C-alpha cells in the first residue's frame, strides 16, 4: 500500500464535500487506521461502534482506489412505478 502522510490525506479527504454522515464515518475509519495501522479491523470497528464489515469495505476501497467516496452511480436506482400507480400519485 502506498503510504500517505497525515497532512496529505487530510488535504485529499477534505477536498471532497463532507456532507453526509457516511462520508464522515469513512473518514474516521481511514484516519484511525492510518494513526494506528497495527489495530485490527475488529478492534477498530468496536472502538467506533460500527460493524466490522463496514470497516473492511472502507479500508479495502481506500487501499485499492485511494478514495473514500462512493462510486458514481452506486446505490439504489430510481425506478418509476407502473402507470396505474403513477396516476394515483398524481391525483
SS (H, E, C) 1-26: CCCCCHHHHHHHHHCCCCCCHHHHHH
Q: 35 pLDDT exceeds 70? A: yes
Flag whether the pTM goes above 0.75: no
Q: How would residue 1 be classed by pLDDT, with cut points 50, 70 and 90?
A: very low
For residue 90, the model assigns a pLDDT of: 66
Looking at residue 45, its pLDDT comes to 92
Place of cell 477534505: 14
Mean pLDDT, the chain, integer: 77
What is the pLDDT, as a whole number, of residue 66?
A: 79
Amino acid at each position: 500500500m502506498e503510504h500517505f502522510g497525515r497532512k496529505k490525506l487530510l488535504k485529499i479527504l477534505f477536498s471532497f464535500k463532507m456532507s453526509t454522515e457516511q462520508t464522515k464515518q469513512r473518514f474516521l475509519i481511514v484516519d484511525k487506521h492510518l494513526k494506528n495501522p497495527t489495530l485490527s479491523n475488529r478492534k477498530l470497528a468496536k472502538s467506533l461502534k460500527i460493524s466490522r464489515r463496514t470497516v473492511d469495505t472502507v479500508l479495502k476501497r481506500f487501499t485499492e482506489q485511494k478514495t473514500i467516496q462512493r462510486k458514481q452511480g452506486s446505490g439504489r436506482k430510481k425506478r418509476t412505478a407502473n402507470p396505474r400507480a403513477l396516476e394515483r400519485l398524481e391525483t
